[in-house]
Amino acid sequence: MIIADVTFIGLGLMGTALARTAIKAGFETVVWNRTPEKVVPLVEQGARYFENVAKAISESPIIVVCVSGYDVSDTILRVPEVEAALKGRTLIQLTSGSTRLARNAALWAGAIGVRYVDGGIEGYPATIGKDDSMFIISGDEQGYQQAQPLLRTLAPVLHYLGDDPTRASAMYSAMLSGSFGLIFGVMNAVAICEATGISIEQYLQVVGPVFKTDIDLVTEMAQKCDEDNLDKTEAYLSVWNETLVPIIETLSDGGCNTELPTLMHEMLNRAEKEGLAKHDLAALIEMIRPGKTDKI
């Protein structure tokens, strides 16, 4: 018998934030977690808890899963008793994973009669339910429509990318790839500052405004790749490449790790050898596109 609106499987840092937000918004909520102690505060806020995961699933039409990986999700869900409970329900997979994992999960769900929706969460647990909280979603459209009021409560900025279940994880990887680039770059910058006696406060004061210019720059570079307009530029790829040398030397002189700029320098050296020296820096895309794996 269905008694609730949604069941949350996985109450780690993110799963707890999702369930807490749903409860607060008035959704009848069931929770399940491997470590049962984590359900206590949520039960105090109004959630119901069932020790048996199949029972917890059978209580709601919508099941949200948010655990540490698809392997963990499979361990929990791909059990005959649980698969039987899932039949006819909508499964929202918010665990981060690759396109391959999303495709496999959708095939499995289709075979057992489950509407499969895959999603990626942008932001930290504290942002869940806030105005700028964002989910990237794709998969079964009927399931998405059914879960939309819940999803919009958790993340008002909702991007549904269509019924291909792999789209969300592809977009999520694309999004995180940009974030990682910036994070790794700025951590190198922090190391340079520490090694050379520049305070982080002064670094942020001087360089902070440049972050905004960088966003314009990378936006333009992505468009250049799309338009295949890589040969016109105001600064040659070779000129950019030379500026990696002082970065590597300064890090090295400060006793810091130089792996990241060294890898970038090696990639751009190969790009120059491929005839891209006088192109825009965005031409480094040619070192990443298919067919270049052996050169990296």
Residues engaged in binding ligand NAP (CB under 6 A):
10-15, 33-35, 38, 66-68, 72, 75-76, 95-96, 121, 124-125
- Minimum CB separation of residue 295 from ligand NAP in Å reads 31
- Minimum CB separation of residue 148 from ligand NAP in Å reads 20
* Per-residue tokens: 221: 């570079």
Each as own residue / partner, the long-range contacts of residues 228-232 (CB below 8 Å, 24 or more positions apart, any chain) are: 229/280, 230/276, 230/279, 230/280, 230/282, 230/283, 230/285, 230/286, 231/278, 231/279, 231/280, 231/283, 232/280
Quick one: 75 or 223, whose CB is closer to ligand NAP?
75
Quick one: 21 or 241, whose CB is closer to ligand NAP?
21
Quick one: 175 or 186, whose CB is closer to ligand NAP?
175
- Minimum CB separation of residue 12 from ligand NAP in Å reads 2
Report which residue type is found at 115: R
Quick one: 166 or 258, whose CB is closer to ligand NAP?
166
Angle value at C-alpha 205, between 201 and 207, nearest 5 degrees: 110
Specify burial of residue 243 (Cβ count, 10 A radius: 0-12, 13-18, 19+): exposed
> If residue 117 lies in a helix (H) or strand (E), which one and from where to where?
strand 115-122
- Minimum CB separation of residue 20 from ligand NAP in Å reads 12
Specify burial of residue 155 (Cβ count, 10 A radius: 0-12, 13-18, 19+): buried
Quick one: 94 or 281, whose CB is closer to ligand NAP?
94
- Minimum CB separation of residue 2 from ligand NAP in Å reads 24
Report the residue number whose CB is nearest to ligand NAP: 12
- Minimum CB separation of residue 155 from ligand NAP in Å reads 11
Quick one: 19 or 282, whose CB is closer to ligand NAP?
19
Query: What is the spatial distance between Cα 152 and Cα 135, in angstroms, rounded to a whole number?
Result: 9
